[in-house]
Amino acid sequence: MRSTACRTIWGLLLLLAVAGGARADDGATVWTPWERALVSDRAYDRPCVDVQVRVRFDGPGGATRAGMAFWDGGTRYVIRCCFPAPGEWRWRTTCTETSNRGLHAQAGVMRVGSLRASTNPLVAHGYPRVSDDRRTLAYADGTPLLWIGDTCWAAPVHATDIDWRSYIANRARKGYTVLQVSIAPDWALAEARRPVAPFLSTLPDITKPNPAYFQRLDRLISAANARGLVVLMVGLIETPYRYPPPAQVATLSRYVAARYAAHAVIFSPSFDSGIREAETLASAEAVREAAPSSLVTMHMGTGVGPRFHNANWLSFDMVQSGHNGGDARRQSARAVGMPAEVLALPGRKPVINGEAIYEGDLGGAYDVRRTAWLSVLSGAVGYTAGINQLYRWDDDAPAMMDAPSSDQVGLLGRVLRAVPWWTLDPAPGRILNQPDDRARLMAFALTPDRSLGVAYLPGNAAVELDLSGLPATCRALWVSPSTGRWRTGASVTPSPKVSLTPPDERDWLLVLAAPGSPAVARLTKALDAVATRAGGPNASITFGADAPIDGLVRKEPRDGEFGRATSGGAACIVNQNPTRSKYLYLDLDDRIAFRGGARGMAVEVRLQSDDGLDGIALEFDATGAGGSAYRSVLPASQKQAGGWTTLTFQADAPYLGNRQNSGADMRVCLNGHRCRVASVAVRLDGLTH
């Protein structure tokens, strides 16, 4: 009775508000951000602290949503909403300062249009949520959402509008679904290329965000959402420093959540943190107050366990298997073990590996795809990749968008989308020959009906599987996770111990499917559509600031650090400290290196030396070299032109297995000379396919 009376009073208040001048708005559609500006009748010294404005939305069929207004400069406040259903929606504000007639008891009516046809999954299917069975993430209509993420932490501080548009188009084209950004990390602000500061308050006080900074961030996030990309905003307890007082954390968290609740955004209080109880709870409670319909997770530090798993505000778990100083053994062990740790806890929640080894100074493309496949076959329902130049968003970011790992993580998404990935359950106990070397750990997952199994072998001679309970005969498919090329294996008769040998000693995916499985047809069709690499067996790299990736990537271990320079008008790189940085490391794209059958390799290096050329050599990953050793060759020829010397090296039987020195397949030994290098070109001879 009391509830009915309350609803009646609420309806009368809305009718009075509309009669008093609140107009009915048209033009909004479901799953599209809508906003309305309010004008305060007074200015506040601390607008995010001195006043709070809450808003309630009532829609068809008893649907409700809640949120808060945010300060947008001067006396302007804004309310935003994304409506999940068409029909008439009524809204009304409540201000903590009831005498403020511009903010308190404002009301209106929205006529929200039906869902329009769209190729954007955030419009066609709705915003992310946790699936009904709590195994995965899903779009609002229940369509499974495969988390294929990328880190662009410093983009809000550094990215130009043009570069951002290019980047989001690139990631959407490759099948990524999530971008991870940090609002304003101090390490990026120290060299900010954008002129607008994120706060008007004097740091370390963060209670007065700068509307101009966040207005630009609005545009970046809106553009990403328009491409179907969800944005994870991390570091609410670490912006810009670690760690503001909990009250200030709550103020910033409330502001950010109110501002972006109408977008396809997920919030994370932490950014590489350990356990920070007070700050985390202050942030989480503020986010839930301002954006109760949004997802919340925790981007914890490397190896930090699921401390907040049972918290009601935590929508899903996020682990960080991490970089681990380049130690492949720890990377793999954590990629396998951390999802398993979460899945063993009571109260099922999806788990994502939100950061692993990046392609950069500690790892190569192989390391990225290895930890990616180990993660998703060990229970993670998503994986976030990274590239050093992109997470920092430095001057090389535009050129590095197509680093090899970016395509290989995209290929992971292509493979998984061709099969019922959301039903795969990790089955590590069925692997009977797990190696002692943790860098070579394998992973295996099965669907509940055992009609489909997927294994990942990171360079193993064979995998022995317990296939008891699978169909009488299984089709085997071997898929290269670097190129997408596939080949059919021998038919498999399941038994408690089956040994399966991959085509060679590279890393491979093994797909086992019941006869007539539609997943195999979908998978082979998807793989056949992959353009592994246009052109022939050639690769090159030049060292201009915007030079695109063309099959070669420069790596920068500690003894291979170079700075940018020019010489005679030509862009180049230089080892300023030749005693320490005596190597130029290079990684050949596996889509070239793994094509098979290369009898030889020609490498041309265009350089200048202040100290002569004696002792300069090419060291390369070779067949039969053994362990982590390189084979060394001296220049076969040299020529001079325009003040530059081109050294040509001839290398026999290159293996190019991409396993050492951050994934570098070769390095040019400069023998302690200070050198300027303008370009490197590689040609493989005798490729078979």
Q: Is 519 left (phi over 0), alpha (psi -120 to 50) or beta?
A: alpha
In a domain, 342, yes or no: yes
Looking at residue 310, its pLDDT comes to 96
Q: What's 601's domain CATH number?
A: 2.60.120.1360
**544 and 668 housed in the same domain:** yes
| Strand intervals (E) in 401-462 | 425-426, 443-446, 452-458
273 and 189 assigned to the same domain: yes
- Kindly report the pTM of this predicted structure: 0.93
Residues 361 and 265 in one domain: yes
**Mean pLDDT, residues 187-215 taken together:** 94
Rounded to the nearest angstrom, the gap between the alpha carbon of residue 231 and the centroid of all alpha carbons in its chain is 10
* Average pLDDT estimate for 574-595: 90
Q: Is residue 541 within 8 Å of 403, Cβ to Cβ? A: no
Please check whether residues 156 and 14 belong to one and the same domain: no
Strand partners, 607: 645, 677
Tens digits of residue pLDDT in 478-506: 999 999 999 999 999 999 999 999 998 88
**C-alpha distances in angstroms, 130 versus 134, 296, 355?**
6, 11, 20
Is 396 among the domain residues?
A: yes
Q: Which CATH number is 77's domain given?
A: 2.60.40.10
Residue 563 has pLDDT above 50, yes or no: yes
Instruction: Judge contact between 108 and 36, C-beta under 8 A.
Output: yes
Identify whether 189 is part of a domain: yes
Mention every residue, 6+ apart, whose C-beta is less than 8 A from residue 56.
64, 65, 66, 91, 92, 94
Show the tokens assigned to 377. Answer: 């076959």
Q: Are residues 75 and 29 in the same domain?
A: yes
Predicted confidence (pLDDT) per residue in 343-391, tens digit: 999 999 999 999 999 999 899 999 999 999 999 999 999 999 999 999 9
Same domain, 63 and 161: no
Answer yes or no: is 6 within a domain: yes
Q: Is the pLDDT of residue 9 over 50?
A: no
Q: Are residues 553 and 518 in the same domain?
A: no
Q: Per residue in 675-685, pLDDT tens?
A: 999 999 999 98
Q: Which domain holds residue 444?
A: 426-528
Give me the percent of the chain exceeding a pLDDT of 90: 81
Domain boundary among 357, 384, 417: 417
Amino acid at 582: K
Count of C-beta atoms within a 10 Å radius of residue 9: 10
pLDDT at 598: 77
Does the residue 433 lie in any domain?
Answer: yes
3 — phi, psi (to 5°)?
A: -60, -40
**Res 116: pLDDT:** 76
Provide the percentage of residues in the chain whose pLDDT is more than 70: 93
Mean pLDDT confidence for 193-204: 92
Whether residues 564 and 489 fall in one domain? no
Q: In terms of domains, do 96 and 125 share one?
A: no
Per the structure, the count of domains in the chain is 4
* Other beta carbons within 10 Å of 462: 11
Distance, in Å, from the CA atom of 426 to the CA atom of 445, rounded to the nearest integer, reads 4
Q: Is residue 533 part of a domain?
A: no
273 lies in the same domain as 220: yes
Measure the CA dihedral 554/556/559/561, to 10°.
90
Q: Rounded to the nearest 5°, which phi and psi values hold at 342?
A: -70, -45
Instruction: Single out the residue in 480, 499, 528 at which a domain terminates.
Output: 528
Give the length of the chain.
689
Of 364, 398, 417, the residue at which a domain comes to its end is: 417
Query: Which two three-digit tokens encode residue 212?
Result: 């101009």
- Computed over every residue of the chain, the mean pLDDT equals 92
Distance from the Cα of residue 423 to its chain's centroid: 22
Residues 31 and 61 in one domain: yes
CATH of the domain at 222: 3.20.20.80
Residue 339: inside a domain, yes or no? yes
513: in domain:
yes
Q: Are the CB atoms for 495 and 503 separated by under 8 Å?
A: no
Are residues 614 and 577 part of one domain? Answer: yes
Arithmetic mean of pLDDT, 281-288 = 98
Give the lowest-confidence range in 341-345, 533-537, 661-665: 533-537
